Structures are given as structure tokens and as C-alpha cells.
A = this chain, B = another copy of it.
Amino acid sequence: MREFDLIDRIRKTIGAPGPGTVVGIGDDAAVYEPPGGLELFTCDAFVEGVHFRRDFASFREIGSKCMVANVSDIAAMGGFPTRATVSLCVPPDMGEAQAVELYDGMLEVCRRYAVEIVGGDVVGSPSGLMVSVALLGAVDRGRVVTRAGAVVGDAIVVTGDLGASEAGLLALTRGLEGGGAVDEAKRKHLLPTPRLAEAQAIIDVATPRAMIDVSDGLSSDVRHIADESGVGITLIEEALPVAPAARKIAERVGVDPTKLVLGSGEEFELVVAISPSEVERAAEHVATVTGTRVTRIGEVTEASQGCSLVRTDGSSEPLARLGYEHLVEGGDHGA
């Protein structure tokens, strides 16, 4: 594969610059009209053997997930994604058709969420495939939601249900078959959905104080809100919305479904700190607009109380801080 051939093909696939883009892909930098309001900027890198395995995921799925993870970050700030650049590090055993397939996966997500790819580079990689996406977004002043605004007494709510992403990875690594829950969990792991419409629906009818997407795992991500807001957070085990597929797979392989839920990364559900008086209105509106359930799973406490989980038997345990060490040392994420 030759760099310039691939770039030419990618340019053709992407097509003409979109509205507001003066110079798209193919120059030293893209040029565009900044949107009104504030702008958002995020990035995420995906490394073969750490974030994905080519024997589990198709190139289309790998591309899709890289873009979804970035869109999810923009959603969690209260904004809409706008423009992206993509760095692709291509190993020797990967051909042009496969690189195009990976781009197609990204472009499907881009079309769905009105993202334009305006630049990028393609370089050789001596070992594995690596994809790094940088994504811009736009957000109205007054609709920004950071991790830092949670206050004592807030409710903690979550969109959708949790655990299926990790359960899907378990099913893939252990070679589980059998359709139904197994296929459902694999699909959730390989083709997740960002909660853009859900975030907007919440902000339309309520004033969320802090928001984050579940990318490292509920346990870690709740701690990020606690750390940035200077508060504690208590989660209630019996309130956790365990995905039915996750519960079935947890039973089948003999793991605690709650542990599965707490450590399940790349769920891309939203965790939100919100006034208790706004929970019902927000949940109803999200359900009406998107069909997604919103569940109250805990509350914000004084910082001195730390982050903990109240088990169904009434006992309490600290929420572990998972993340990189989980991904790499745990070995369950395909490392």
C-alpha cells in the first residue's frame, strides 16, 4: 500500500467539504468557520492488542468504535460533534482495502452524527494497527456539563443498562457461542452507541450538574466525577441496571454480575449528577424522545465519605479505581 494512493482514495470516499468547511482533507491543515457558541476538543487512541483484536472485530467495527468513543466524549459535555481528524498507523500485513473498510466504519458513524473528517495522516506501523481520532464539537453557552459540578444531595442516574460490553468481551475471549444473550453482548461490545440524543434530552428539561460517559467502567467513571467535584458518591447495588445479557453471561461463566457492571468499560452510557427534584422529569423526557431508560443508582455525599457501593446485604465497600491498569494488567481487554 502506498500512502498517497490511500489518501487519494480516502479523499474520494469522504467527498467535498461540508458546510462551513473552507478547506477539507488534503492540505497541511483543514480550514473552517468556527461554530457559534463554545467549541469542544477531544481525542482518543485505539491500539491493537489493548483496545481491540483483529480476530474479534472487523475493520468496520474497529473504525466505528473509535469514532463512537470520541462522539460519546462530546455528548458527555453537552455538545454536538462537528469535525474530526484521523491518524492511522498501518501494520505491514494490512492492505488498502482493509484501511478503506476501517474508514467506512468511521464514516458510517460520521454520517449518523453529522461529523466531517477534515484531515488525517496515514503512516506505517512496524507492529500493530493504531487509530487516533481527534474530534471537535460545538456547544451552546449554558449547556456545557463538566465532571466538576456535582453537589452533596444530588442523585446519580445512568442511561440504559450496564455490563453487556464487558460480557461481550468475555464471550469473545472465552469463545462462548449460543446466540441470544451471547450475540447481544458481543454486538454491544463491538458496535456500541453514543448517547448524544439522551444527553440533549436531559439538558432540554433539566440542569445536570456533572456528566461523564462510561468508558473506563462505572466504578472509575463515578470516581472521576467525585474527584473533579470534590464530593463522595454512594452507589446502591440493587439499583444498578444490569443488562439482561450481562446477567446471563455472568451466571454462565461464574462471575459476580455487579463486579462485571462496575468494571465494564466502553459502555458509553451516561452517568449524571442531577438534583433529585429533576430526576423524574429528565427520565420521562429521555424515555419519550429516545426510548432509553434512565435509572437512579446512587447519590452524592460529602467528600469525606469517599466512593462506595452499598451491597444488597447492607454491607458497604469502596469503589475501586480501575482504568489503564485494568485494561493492560487485567488482560481481559485483549492485551
Contacts and interface: CB of A to CB of B under 8 A. Distances in A.
Interface of A: 2-4, 22-23, 26-35, 38-51, 72-74, 76-77, 79, 83, 85-89, 118-128, 130, 132, 134-137, 139, 144, 146-148, 211-213, 228, 321, 323-325, 327-328, 335
Given A31-B40, A41-B30, A50 B325 contact: no
B228 A121 contact: no
Nearest to A42: B29
Contacts of A47: 89, 123-126, 130
Nearest to A81: B29
A324 B87 contact: no
Contacts of A328: 124
A118 B41 contact: yes
A276 to B, nearest CB: 24
B123 A85 contact: no
A212 B51 CA distance: 35
Given A146-B27, A213-B28, A42 B123 contact: no
A77 B45 contact: no
A28, A123, A124 — most chain B CB neighbours (10 Å)? A28
A38 B74 CA distance: 21
Contacts of A3: 323-325
Contact of A23 (B26, B43, B132, B146): B146
A3 B72 CA distance: 20
B130 A45 contact: yes
A45 B89 contact: yes
Contacts of A121: 43-45
A28 B72 CA distance: 9
Nearest to A79: B29
A87 B132 CA distance: 7
A274 to B, nearest CB: 17
A75 to B, nearest CB: 8
Contact of A43 (B4, B73, B85, B228): B85
A121 B87 CA distance: 14
Contact of A335 (B22, B44, B74, B126): B126
Contacts of A45: 87-89, 121, 123, 130, 132
